[in-house]
Structure 1
């Protein structure tokens, strides 16, 4: 069973007014750029992951915050949730086409940032 909203691209002349407080795109930007949303999208760029694999890949996120973030991103149509009817159920998360499109520039942003950071020293890696 797959969960998640399906999105299609909007015609070029029919954009949202993202500077207006009632714009639904603002909410989605808040979800994508939330403390954990950005990390979930980047982690899933490498492929589908089960909940605990995703939690392991994002150091510092609690189960509660990861669950809330995933629920929001699934509702927004950026992440898909697939449940295998096994005992116990196996849940896998992956990016939708929309999610891949949104995550790509985020990954590029982090690549650019890390190119400009000074090299890590052995003392800094701990």
Structure 2
């Protein structure tokens, strides 16, 4: 199910990929994507720490790559082949954060549309 916010995020990612193409470090794409979000007026937070609860213990140290508009978790990768664990990772982030929507964006693809996965809980 498409929505305006995720479409805007994807549009920004496509622009970054159009300029850079595949092959750079994930951190470069993250920096460029954040700049593109700012240019498009999208509110975001980078490297957002979330708490994971295990029984009665809160465990810190887990970070989301990006959180857009306090609603969409964006996990970035820059890999030639995306491992299955990347999907499991994003689904886990959604579960523990209580958020409902996520995007997994792999800048390692030659065509970025082939590297975008949407998730909704």
Kindly name which structure, 1 or 2, has the bigger radius of gyration based on alpha carbons: 1
More strand by share: 2
